[in-house]
Structure 1
Amino acid sequence: MRLLTIQAMPLALLTSACLLPSNASAEFFEDSKATLELRNLYFNRDFRQPGGSAASGQSKAAEWGQGFIFRGESGYTSGVLGLGVDAIGMVGFKLDSSHDRAGTALFPTGSDGDSQDEYSKLGITGKAKLSKTTAKVGTLIFRNQMLLSPDGRLLPQMFRGAMIESSEIDGLTVQAAKITDALPAQSGHWAKMVGNRIGGEGDYYAFYGGDYAPSSQSTIGLHYGKLDEVYQQYVANAGYTFNLSEDTSIKTEARFAKSSEDGSFRAIDNKAFGAMVTLRKSAHSFGVGYQKMRGDDPYPYVANSDPYLINFIQINDFANVNERSWQARYDLNLAAYGVPGLVFMTRYVTGDDVALSSGATGKEWERDTDITYAFQSGPLKNLSLRWRNATVRSSFGNDLDENRLIVQYTIPLR
């Protein structure tokens, strides 16, 4: 019998679930849920250096769009092996743009350099569950050490492949995945994956590893991933939270990654270390972070994804060759002051010792501010308003000021 392709398997699982007797498929429907998210986003990036953006020469990139994101998740059929299916459908519309302000990564860009008026995405995921082990095939969205799907633009990034996750042992979660294609946030077309910063295209990206929580206060993890014929990477992380009192704690986290070449693409050498300590006192949190790159290359990761780095923030990742960076962060939850749903964050990261191709060294810094208010009740419940502001200054890259205004409203459909 011919093997099912990755693209066909989700449909086969859905068909199988629906053909089961009604008593077996009851949970498939009863445990299902669906939401529709309306996302309105205005993006403004002002290039401050003479001559504008180093890549395009633009003095500004500013666009406005409206996105609609439908998410549907079924339950599992009853029995030893439960079957289910998830779906995600998205469409984005351009509300404002121009030829000299395009390039915000909110929309696909045409051959003429203008942003397209609209684009859409559709993903189907078949899933199966046996005991505490789940397998998924089709469209996937990741948030783990090896692959993080960005969601900072109009529509989120997606991947296509297969993964398995198991929690059969208490406190231990293991994962394995093989990804064949990526669908960037600003695109409606699947594409092969390439290495960010280092280049190189791979036929697939695969990762596996596990996370163990010895207690509710501690976690450790070890993962391995590779972009086929481009690079391979080991990532280790550990964290511990010291609870000093009911409203006071100190959270510590450390991350280490070692990257090298895979195949004959080219030699790759990077070691990345990062650590963060955060003191939480009631509504206030104060954090200090440190990150250091070693080796002949910057930190490699899948292009259009987010890197798993302590000092990856709104714009920069501070992962250039030999770069050393420090972070200071402050968070405030104003629920403690009678305004539930209102949170504030500000942080500052400075990096230096960047080894430039000219032989000189470079430095950079970024300051971020993030204010979010989510309505807690009434007719506006599930509506959130968010302002994200960033300022970047660099001796070797773009100087820029950026603002993102985001209005999100999530409607439960089931």
Structure 2
Amino acid sequence: MKKQTLAAAIALAAVSLHAQADDVAKSQGFLADSKLALSSRTYYYENDNHNANAANQQESAEVLKLDYRSGFTQGMIGVGIDAQMIYGLHLDGGRGHHPATGNSFWPSDSDGSAVDDFARGDANVKFRLSKTELHVGGALFPQLPINTASDSRTMPQNFDGGMITSKEIDNLTLSAGQLEHSTGRASTNSTALSVSGATKGSNQFRYAGGDYKVTKDLTVQYYFANLDDFYKQHFLGLVHVLPLGDDQSFKTDLRYFNSSSDGKNGSDAAGYAFDNNGGYAKHAGEVDNVTWSSMFTYQLGGSKLLVGYQSVSDDGGFVSLNQGNVTKDGKPLAKDGSNSEDNGGNGFYLFTNAVVGSFIRAGENTAFAQYSYDFTRVGVPGLSAFVNYLRGDDIKDKTLIGVKHSEWERDAGVDYVIQSGYLKGFGTTLRTGSLHTDGTGVANQDQTRLIFNYTYNFL
């Protein structure tokens, strides 16, 4: 048995070294594989609140982003660097058009007005061994079911900490890491990690999980995440694409989240309460939720029709990282809020993450549908458009037992990217959304977003 074990170990080592040799051969080196790009984003954002107590918002801004991604040094362990520099200029939206708090579009000055301009930068070092990569630093942009960095405003949200991704086994991608701070999409400073409504934060968000491609058409997922002193979360996912013939398919996408309280969140500790997205909670301030979401997409040529259904359990709302107003070290806020930093929110991995609303309060059952079309099929490459509708019912009232509410949203969008000439790659995005609620405590809102994007690649 010892000889067999030794032989197996030698064989595994030989396979690993062979894979490393292949990767080294493919690597051109630190500079040769480097990429440098300058991106420009011009953004107009309008949010019309149909509520006398809620502020309207109308702003525009220009953001320049310089991204550098090095290659890896040659050798058994490759080393590289990623860095990002951002400069932002506020173009319009003076007094009365820039909400001082809860602003997800642009950083606020000490007097509550929009800052005129700003600059921020982050970087991280990366290591590669065979098909495993480790990234450590402040330029991390996770796109995982249990944490999705948002890039839906002027600036991208980023995290600092460490992330490791391994593809050593065919068809299996494993991921793990620890994140400690976040810099929001409307922020210049990093904050501790937290949940909606909390005034304290945590410097420890740990996760692990993986994606396994069972067949070329079927992928299954499992992830576990723990935001220390706030919540634990399990995620299960399944994606299947069924080919139906020439340029035709049917896609099934299923997502399941199970979240529970952790540490101080479940012991009524001051500052650690979750507001359950402004809705009902069986135990006030505590994380206690099961959410499942399903989407089915039929694609024929340039047309896609999707329908879906999502259910949020009765005991509390869906939870995800949402920093709100917390300090970098997670300490309590000062009474005047002078040590706070509005992180500007972030994304989450549900189909109801719409233009305006979220549809994630306790008891909410949401049906939704969307139609999109790719105009490449009729001779206009780069042009696409969509319309969608979401309807959420059975939202539990925050205080009145047995009372339920509803909400609906209607969105539309158009995207166009120039395909040739001097402006090749210049993109235009238009989004409109209307959210109407019934007794949920959220103001009816109409949003318009007009975005111009262009990226020039130096390397």
- On the 8 A contact 1:236/1:256 being kept in 2, the answer is yes
Residue 444 (structure 2) pairs with residue 399 (structure 1): yes
Q: Cα gap change, 1:364/1:297 in structure 2, threshold over 3 Å: closer, same or farther? A: same
- Of the structure 1 ranges 178-187 and 257-266, higher mean CA displacement relative to structure 2 is found in 257-266
1:48 aligns with 2:67: no
Report the CA distance between 1:368 and its aligned residue: 1.0
Is the aligned partner of 1:297 residue 2:316? yes
Q: Give 3-state SS (helix, strand or coil) of 1:380's partner.
A: coil
With over 3 angstroms needed to count, the CA separation of the structure-2 counterparts of 1:197 and 1:277, relative to structure 1, is farther
In structure 2, C-alpha distance between the alignment counterparts of 1:106 and 1:275, rounded to whole Å? 30
In the alignment, is the contact (CA less than 8 A) between 1:107 and 1:118 conserved in 2? Answer: no
Say which SS state the counterpart of residue 194 (structure 1) adopts.
coil
Q: In structure 2, what is the equivalent of residue 336 of structure 1? A: 377
Letter in 1 for 2:144: N
Q: How big is the shift at 1:311?
A: 1.5
1:155-194 per-position Cα deviation (integer Å, ceiling 9, x unaligned): 1101000010000011100000100101011111011011
Deviates more, 1:354-363 or 1:239-248: 354-363
- Find the aligned partners of 1:42 and 1:342 in 2 and give their Cα distance: 20
8 Å contact kept, 1:40–1:65: yes
Displacement of 1:389: 0.6
In 2, distance between residues paired with 1:201 and 1:265?
11
Q: Is the 8 A contact 1:269 1:295 kept in 2?
A: no
Q: Does 1:244 align with 2:244?
A: yes
Tell me the residue number matched to 1:93: 89
1:382 aligns to 2:425 (yes or no) = yes
**CA deviation after TM superposition for structure 1 residue 357, in Å:** 1.2
Q: CA 1:187–1:405 in structure 2 vs 1: closer, same or farther (change >3 Å)?
A: same
Q: How many matched pairs?
A: 386
The 1:70/1:242 distance shift into structure 2, 3 A limit, reads same
Q: 1:130 to 1:142 in 2, by over 3 A?
A: same
Partner amino acid, structure 2, of 1:221: Q
Question: What does 1:114-263 correspond to in 2, within 5 Å?
Answer: 114-139=113-138, 140-196=140-196, 201-263=201-263
Residue 272 of structure 1: how far off its partner (Å): 0.2
What are structure 1's unaligned runs of at least 5 residues? 1-22
- The structure 2 residue matched to 1:372, chosen from 398, 412, 415, is 415
Aligned partners of 1:144, 1:102: CA distance in 2, in Å? 31
In 1, are the aligned partners of 2:141 and 2:158 still within 8 Å (CA)? yes
- For residue 246 of structure 1, report the CA deviation from its aligned partner: 2.0
Structure-1 separation of matches of 2:172 and 2:199: 34
TM-score by length of 2: 0.82
User: What stretches of structure 1 move > 6 A for 4+ residues in a row?
Assistant: none
Q: Secondary structure at the match of 2:451?
A: strand
Determine helix, strand or coil for the equivalent of 2:105.
Answer: coil
Q: How far apart are 1:197 and its partner, in Å?
A: 5.2
- Greater shift in the superposed pair: 305-314 or 84-93: 305-314
Q: Evaluate the alpha carbon distance shift between residue 247 and residue 192 of structure 1 in structure 2; reply closer, same or farther with a 3 A threshold.
A: same
Residue of 66, 70, 77 corresponding to 1:74:
70
Unaligned 5+ runs, structure 2: 1-24, 267-285, 323-344
Letter in 1 for 2:135: K
Q: What secondary structure does 1:259 align onto? A: strand
Higher percent of residues as strand: 1
Q: Distance in 2 between matches of 1:106 and 1:196?
A: 17
State the match for 1:276 in structure 2. 295
Instruction: Check the 8 A contact 1:41/1:407 in 2, yes or no.
Output: yes
CA–CA separation in structure 2 for the residues paired with 1:26 and 1:167: 20
* Match in the other structure for 1:111: 110
Q: Which residue is equivalent to 2:360? A: 319
The CA distance in 2 between the partners of 1:283 and 1:35, in whole Å, is 31
CA contact (8 A) 1:107 1:119 kept: no
Is 1:119–1:187's contact at 8 Å kept on the other side of the alignment? no
Question: Counterpart of 2:422 in 1: which secondary structure?
Answer: helix
1:291-314 alpha-carbon deviations (Å, 9 max, x no partner): 001142110110022111122122
Tell me how far 1:318 sits from its aligned partner: 0.7
Q: Distance in 2 between matches of 1:235 and 1:201?
A: 23
Q: Which string of whole-angstrom CA distances, capped at 9 and with x for unpartnered residues, describes residues 352-393 of structure 1?
A: 111121322111111111101000111010100111111110
2:451 maps to amino acid:
I
Match 1:354 to one of 383, 395, 398: 395
Tell me, in whole angstroms, the C-alpha distance in 2 between the residues paired with 1:369 and 1:125.
37
Aligned partners of 1:200 and 1:265 also within 8 Å = no
Mean alpha-carbon deviation: is it higher for 307-316 or for 331-340?
A: 307-316
The sequence identity of aligned pairs, in percent, is 29
Cα separation, 1, equivalents of 2:424 and 2:62: 20
Looking at structure 2, the residues matched to 305 and 385 of structure 1 have their Cα atoms a distance apart, in angstroms, of: 23
CA contact (8 A) 1:174 1:210 kept: yes
Q: Distance in 2 between matches of 1:211 and 1:196?
A: 28
Q: Normalising by the residue count of structure 1, what TM-score does the alignment of the two structures yield?
A: 0.91
Cα distance in 1 for partners of 2:246, 2:40 equals 38
Residue aligned with 1:100, SS: coil
Amino acid at match of 2:416: Y
